[in-house]
């Protein structure tokens, strides 16, 4: 019994250490009603900076304006201060796809959290 509990604990620690710290989160239920995030792409550019592209769509018959912000983190989970950590307005035209591209402020950025709100 003790061995089983230790094994399960070791698995939890292993998988939580490997868990991806990057995500896109809609923090406002109003935005969740009209924005559908289809895909998040990421790459390391030639200059060593991580770049992300969020592909999403406005599923309504109305022009919408929402806000987004990106928090970048280093390999240890510490926040890297940047201008993209402040809320920025973004338009979503009716019944259309849109892309949000953001570049990390430092080559030390290894993870990101994107927040969408109204």
**DSSP conformation letters of 25-75:** EE--HHHHHHEEEEEEEEEE-TTS-EEEEEEEEE-SSS-EEEEEEEEEE-T
Give the Cα separation of 70 and 40 in Å (integer): 13
Give the pLDDT of residue 45. Answer: 97
pTM for the structure as a whole: 0.77
Using DSSP's 3-state secondary structure scheme, residue 7 falls into helix
Q: Is the pLDDT of residue 63 over 90?
A: yes
**Does 21-117 carry CATH code 2.60.40.3230?**
yes
C-alpha 73/C-alpha 55 separation (Å) is: 21
95 sits in which H/E element: none
Percent of the chain with pLDDT over 90: 71
Q: Specify the higher pLDDT residue, 105 or 19.
A: 105
pLDDT higher than threshold 60 for residue 15: no
Q: How far, in Å, CA of 109 to CA of 39, rounded?
A: 20
């Amino acid at each position: 019994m003790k061995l089983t509990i230790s094994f399960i604990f070791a698995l939890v620690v292993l998988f939580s250490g490997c868990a991806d710290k990057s995500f896109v989160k809609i923090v406002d239920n109003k935005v969740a009603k009209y924005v559908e995030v289809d895909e998040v792409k990421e790459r390391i550019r030639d200059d060593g900076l991580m770049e992300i592209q969020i592909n999403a769509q406005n599923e309504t018959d109305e022009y919408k304006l929402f806000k987004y912000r990106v928090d970048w983190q280093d390999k240890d989970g510490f926040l890297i201060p940047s201008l993209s950590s402040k809320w920025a307005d973004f338009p979503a035209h009716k019944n259309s796809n849109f892309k949000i591209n953001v570049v990390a402020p430092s080559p030390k950025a290894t993870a990101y959290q994107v927040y969408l709100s109204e």
